């Protein structure tokens, strides 16, 4: 295997879908096996040209996901290269960045944890990373279900395009 992803466009589509779905659903998403999770784009989104990996635009700061510059980059044809997310599942909160075509975890802030002894701390951190990847996996499975559904081309993709263009009215594209 040469390390090149088979479908490199899917990560960018996943990032945009995450951004759209979190806005569409007010940040609270039903992830089936992972339960109800709060998901929102945090303080950083970077964009690239579709045929390059180099970053072309970065939007940072509070409310970066609602910044006019972020939607303008998307509407101009740029694709999301990486996205900083905040996830809340039950009493646990995670901050993380997903990056690139391989969905690399480029840093994660785990919930506060205290365990007794080095082994206890190690096992607790392992549990938290497994929990984080479980939620990311549930998000990706939900994306995959929507992406492969008959609704994608007729309903969801047009709603994403309208949202990116600033035309989405409340309630459109819900699913």
Residue 169 in domain: no
d(CA 97, CA 9): 18
Mean pLDDT, 10 residues at a time, over the chain (175 residues)? 63 93 92 94 90 85 85 88 94 94 89 85 93 95 95 94 75 44
Residue 129 in domain: yes
Q: Are 74 and 65 in contact (CB under 8 A)?
A: no
The total domain count for the chain is 1
Q: Where are the alpha helices (DSSP H) in the chain?
A: 9-24, 68-75, 117-147, 151, 157-164
Residue 69 in domain: yes
Give the range of the structural domain holding residue 145, as residue numbers without chain letter: 9-162
Residue 171 in domain: no
What does the pLDDT read at residue 6?
Answer: 52
For residue 47 the two structure tokens come to: 């964009």
SS3 state of residue 84: strand
Residue 33 in domain: yes
Residue 168 in domain: no
Q: Are 96 and 84 in contact (CB under 8 A)?
A: yes
Q: In degrees rounded to 5, what are phi and psi of residue 146?
A: -70, -40
What does the pLDDT read at residue 168?
Answer: 57
Does the predicted model carry a pTM greater than 0.75? yes
Residue 174 in domain: no
CB 12: neighbour CB atoms within 10 A? 20
Residue 34 in domain: yes
């Amino acid at each position: 295997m040469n390390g090149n992803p088979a479908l490199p466009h899917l990560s960018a589509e996943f990032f945009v879908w995450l951004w759209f779905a979190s806005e569409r659903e007010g940040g609270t998403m039903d992830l089936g096996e992972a339960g109800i999770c709060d998901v929102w784009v945090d303080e950083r989104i970077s964009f690239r040209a579709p045929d390059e990996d180099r970053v072309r635009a970065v939007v940072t700061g509070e409310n970066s996901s609602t910044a006019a510059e972020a939607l303008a980059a998307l509407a101009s044809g740029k694709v999301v290269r990486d996205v900083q997310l905040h996830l809340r599942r039950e009493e646990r909160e995670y901050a993380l960045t997903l990056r690139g075509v391989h969905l690399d975890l480029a840093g994660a802030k785990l919930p506060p944890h205290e365990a007794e002894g080095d082994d206890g701390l190690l096992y607790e951190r392992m549990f938290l990373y497994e929990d984080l990847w479980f939620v990311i996996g549930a998000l990706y499975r939900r994306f995959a279900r929507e992406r492969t559904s008959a609704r994608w081309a007729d309903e969801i993709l047009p709603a994403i395009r309208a949202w990116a263009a600033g035309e989405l009215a409340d309630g459109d594209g819900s699913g």
